[in-house]
């Protein structure tokens, strides 16, 4: 009986061992040896390797880490998952690896999309930054700053790099360079103002027969630093340094307060005279001036003079902002008066429809005149008004150039004095410059100040003028399709139109482009006219603001200019 029990126990153990062995065999067969499972496992690993490589490439070309972070998080989550353990079927493991491979492939595709998106965004930002740099550089040039060559050279270098750039890191570096120069040029103004203040005080002290030798040496050192400055921190250092020198100079200037007070009274008088010229009410300021003059005449002690000097300074400070605001409105009014006056006496009489059109309509309200109005109406700070003054002065400069060019009998295909004057004013006599004379309906391309080619164009019609100003080519495409921004039924609607050569110079869709539907270009084609193409729907008038060019000439212009090419339209 005992032997029988032992025999049965041994039999059970043997059967248990056999069962375990069979289960292990089934498990290994299900999970480790199925060809399809192994194939998908290998595919998942290959796709992960491909993703790692694409991510490394994206980092290398400069795609921002923040942009890639969602992809990295998903990849990390996937790498922490494991295949399910199954006994009787390989299908769950196969499905797992199939899904894993697909997820890695999808992430790889997303990374490539992010590369393209990041490249496009950084390209656009670099273009905008370079255009901003060009504009502020032109403003400083117009203001008479002679210390901007280093910035002009930097702009030219960045424009050259722009033409060669391919990856986000290239465009980001260009943007960083441009932004550094933009900030430096903005800080140049305050630093220059401080230097001017120091120079004025030195001049006042010299007029008071005080020894200013040491101060003049300091001022010359400051001026040398200013001439060499190229970075924001350079101008900040100069401003701080001159501020300290101004404080130190105050102690010396108190010795000459009677003389300085008299000079400040003359300055205050001059401001009041300017305000009167601008048509402002100066009653309150004249009252303050009379009080200051009486106090200065009555002063006897140093304390008296200091008190009077402080009050005059306060009165001078109180007049600065109203004077700037008055000057801005005065210049705006002068600009509009000039546009109206010249336009009234220079009218295009259209034989095609019997209408009459002012030749300077691009400067009126439908053109850049409204931009000047908006700049003044929205101005709130001193910087806002100064920027508005710069804009108005630039507009007036281009208007005067147009007026001069109207009277210039030089053939259209020869260099024009107005072209050269504007190029010199903007400091762009080297490199390529596209100049458009709206009153001539002519485009002239210059290289290093020498005329390369000239041809007729058609600019924006009376209600949709091309914009005068100083711009740069920042987008190019060949070919492309233009789509109307106006609804069908609008007078300015047009069907989707293939364009062979397009070069954008101002945001809002202002292009140089071919207009294959036209046959005629040149004077008068920006007004209603008969076009020999026979097209009376789109060729009988000027463009919608773009510069239309004959197709073969547009192709020539496209292939002989590039990104960053300067554009002057007047």
Tens of pLDDT, residues 173-186: 999 999 999 999 99
pLDDT value, residue 24: 45
Give the pLDDT of residue 332.
98
Per-residue model confidence (pLDDT) at position 207: 59
Between residues 463 and 309, which one has the greater pLDDT?
463
Rounded mean pLDDT, 369-395: 96
Q: How far, in Å, CA of 479 to CA of 349, rounded?
A: 37
pLDDT tens sequence across 410-467: 999 999 999 999 999 999 999 999 999 999 999 999 999 999 999 999 999 999 999 9
> What does the buried/exposed string (b/e) look like for 5-40 if buried means 16 or more CB atoms within 10 Å of the residue's CB?
eeeeeeeeeeeeeeeeeeeeeeeeebbeebeebeeb
Enter the tokens of residue 141. Answer: 């040039």
Q: Give the range among 5-19, 103-117, 556-570 with minimum mean pLDDT.
A: 5-19
Round to whole Å and give the CA distance between 288 and 295. Answer: 11
pLDDT of residue 147: 82
pLDDT at 3 over 90: no
For 358, other C-beta atoms within 10 Å of its C-beta total 18
Percent share of the chain, pLDDT over 70: 91
Asked whether the predicted pLDDT for residue 29 surpasses 50, the reply is no
Phi, psi of 268, rounded to the nearest 5 degrees: -60, -40
Tell how far CA 343 is from the center of its chain: 32
pLDDT given for residue 257 in this prediction? 66
Ranking 167-181, 193-207, 311-325, 476-490 by mean pLDDT, the lowest is 193-207
Supply the pLDDT for residue 2: 46
* pLDDT grade for 25, boundaries at 50, 70 and 90: very low
Instruction: Report residue 208's pLDDT band, with 50, 70 and 90 as the boundaries.
Output: low
The pLDDT confidence band at residue 493, using thresholds 50, 70 and 90, is very high
Confidence of residue 309 (pLDDT cuts 50, 70, 90): confident
- Mean pLDDT confidence for 379-395: 96
pLDDT score for 247: 80
Is the four-CA dihedral 140, 146, 151, 157 of positive or negative sign? Answer: positive
pLDDT at 30: 43
- Averaged pLDDT, 498-511: 96
What percentage of the chain reaches a pLDDT higher than 90?
75
| Per-residue pLDDT at 203 exceeds 90 | no
* pLDDT tens track for 275-293: 999 999 999 999 999 999 9
Helix ranges (DSSP H) in 378-444: 382-406, 417-426
* End-to-end Cα spacing for the chain: 121
> How far is 570 from 469, CA to CA, in rounded Å?
6
* Nearby residues of 378 by Cβ (< 8 Å), 6 or more positions away: 384
Find out whether 325 and 504 touch, Cβ atoms under 8 Å.
no
pLDDT tens per residue, range 237-273? 999 999 988 887 766 666 666 777 888 899 999 999 9
Alpha-carbon span 209 to 391, nearest angstrom: 42
Q: Considering the entire predicted model, what is its pTM?
A: 0.59
Average pLDDT value for the chain = 90
User: What is residue 260's predicted lDDT score, i.e. its pLDDT?
Assistant: 76
């Amino acid at each position: 009986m005992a032997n029988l029990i032992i025999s049965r126990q041994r039999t059970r153990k043997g059967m248990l061992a056999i069962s375990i062995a069979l289960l292990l065999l089934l498990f290994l067969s299900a999970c480790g040896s199925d060809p399809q499972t192994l194939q998908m496992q290998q595919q998942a690993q290959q796709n992960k390797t491909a993703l790692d490589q694409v991510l490394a490439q994206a980092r290398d070309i400069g795609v921002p880490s923040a942009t890639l972070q969602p992809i990295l998080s998903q990849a990390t989550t996937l790498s922490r998952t494991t295949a399910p353990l199954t006994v009787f079927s390989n299908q769950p493991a196969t499905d797992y690896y199939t899904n894993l491979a697909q997820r890695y492939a999808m992430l790889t595709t997303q990374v490539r999309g992010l590369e393209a998106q990041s490249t496009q965004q950084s390209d656009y930002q670099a273009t905008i930054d370079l255009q901003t740099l060009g504009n502020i550089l032109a403003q400083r040039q117009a203001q008479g700053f002679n210390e901007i060559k280093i910035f002009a050279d930097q702009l030219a270098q960045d424009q050259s790099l722009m033409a060669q750039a391919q990856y986000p890191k290239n465009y980001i570096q260009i943007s960083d360079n441009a932004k550094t120069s933009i900030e430096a040029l903005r800080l140049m103004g305050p630093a220059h103002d401080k230097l001017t203040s120091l120079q004025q005080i030195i001049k006042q002290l010299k007029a008071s027969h005080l020894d200013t030798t040491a101060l003049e040496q300091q001022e010359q050192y400051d001026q040398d630093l200013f001439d060499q400055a190229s970075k924001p921190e350079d101008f900040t250092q100069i401003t701080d340094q001159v501020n300290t020198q101004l404080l130190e100079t105050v102690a010396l200037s108190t010795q000459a307060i009677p003389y300085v007070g008299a000079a400040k009274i003359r300055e205050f008088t001059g401001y009041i005279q300017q305000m009167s010229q601008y048509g402002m009410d100066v009653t309150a300021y004249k009252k303050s001036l009379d009080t200051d003059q009486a106090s200065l005449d009555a002063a006897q002690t140093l304390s008296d003079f200091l008190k009077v000097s402080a009050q005059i300074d306060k009165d001078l400070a109180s007049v600065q902002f109203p004077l700037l605001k008055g000057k801005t409105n005065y210049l705006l009014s002068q600009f509009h008066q000039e546009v109206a006056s010249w336009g009234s006496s220079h009218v295009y009489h259209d034989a095609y429809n019997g209408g009459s059109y002012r030749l300077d309509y691009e400067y009126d309200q439908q053109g850049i005149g409204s931009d000047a109005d908006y700049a003044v109406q929205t101005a709130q700070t001193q910087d806002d008004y100064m920027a508005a003054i710069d804009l108005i002065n630039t507009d007036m400069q281009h208007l005067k150039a147009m007026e001069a060019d109207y009277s210039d009998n030089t053939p259209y295909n020869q260099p024009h004095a107005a072209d050269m004057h504007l190029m010199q004013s903007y400091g762009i006599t080297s490199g390529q410059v596209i100049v458009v004379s709206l009153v001539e309906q002519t485009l002239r391309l210059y290289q290093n100040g020498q005329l390369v080619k000239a041809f007729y164009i058609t600019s924006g019609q009376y209600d949709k003028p091309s914009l005068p100003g100083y711009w740069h080519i920042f987008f190019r495409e060949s070919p492309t399709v233009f789509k109307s921004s106006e609804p069908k039924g609008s007078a300015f609607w047009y069907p989707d139109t293939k364009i062979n050569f397009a070069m954008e110079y101002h945001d809002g869709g202002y292009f140089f482009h071919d207009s294959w539907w036209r046959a005629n270009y040149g004077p008068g084609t920006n007004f209603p006219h008969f076009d020999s193409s026979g097209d009376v729907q789109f060729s009988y008038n000027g463009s919608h603001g773009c510069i239309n060019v004959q197709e073969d000439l547009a192709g020539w212009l496209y292939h002989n200019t590039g990104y960053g090419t300067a554009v002057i339209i007047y």
